[in-house]
Structure 1
Amino acid sequence: MPDRISRKKMRSLRRAHETMPGPARAVFDRHRFRNLAYGEIAGELGIDIAEVERRMAQAMLHLMRNTDEARPGGLERIGAWLRAAFGRVWRG
Structure 2
Amino acid sequence: MSSLTHDQIFRLFRDYREPIVAFLMRRVQCPETALDLSQETYLRLVRKETLAHAENLPAYLFRTAERLAIDYLRQNRQTFVSADSLADDLTCPKLSPDELASLRQQCEILLDAIASLPGKCRHVFLLRKIDDLSYGEIAARLGISEKTVQRQLVKAMLHCHRRMQDPQFGLNGNFR
For normalisation by structure 1, the TM-score amounts to: 0.65
**Equivalent of 2:126 in 29, 48, 60:** 29
- How far apart are the structure 1 equivalents of 2:155 and 2:166? 15
- How far apart are the structure 2 equivalents of 1:43 and 1:49? 9
In structure 2, the partner of 1:44 is 141
How far 1:68 moved relative to its partner? Answer: 2.0
- How far apart are the structure 2 equivalents of 1:49 and 1:36? 12
In structure 2, the partner of 1:17 is 114
- How far apart are the structure 2 equivalents of 1:66 and 1:39? 28
1:1-92 alignment runs, 5 A limit: 6-68=103-165
- How far apart are the structure 2 equivalents of 1:28 and 1:60? 8
How far 1:47 moved relative to its partner? Answer: 0.6
Matched to 1:55, the amino acid is Q
Greater RCO (Cα-Cα under 8 Å, separation 6 or more): 1
- Which has the greater radius of gyration? 2
- How far apart are the structure 1 equivalents of 2:162 and 2:103? 19
Q: Any unmatched runs of 5+ in structure 1?
A: 71-92
How far 1:43 moved relative to its partner? Answer: 0.2
Matched to 1:9, the amino acid is Q
Runs (4 or more) in structure 1 with deviation over 4 Å come to none
- How far apart are the structure 1 equivalents of 2:146 and 2:160? 21
- How far apart are the structure 2 equivalents of 1:55 and 1:33? 15
**Percent identity at matched positions?**
36
Q: Any unmatched runs of 5+ in structure 2?
A: 1-99, 168-176
How far 1:7 moved relative to its partner? Answer: 1.0
How far 1:14 moved relative to its partner? Answer: 0.9
May I ask how many residue pairs the two structures share in their alignment? 67
Give the secondary structure class of the aligned counterpart of 1:20.
coil
- How far apart are the structure 1 equivalents of 2:139 and 2:166? 28
Matched to 1:16, the amino acid is A
How far 1:40 moved relative to its partner? Answer: 0.3
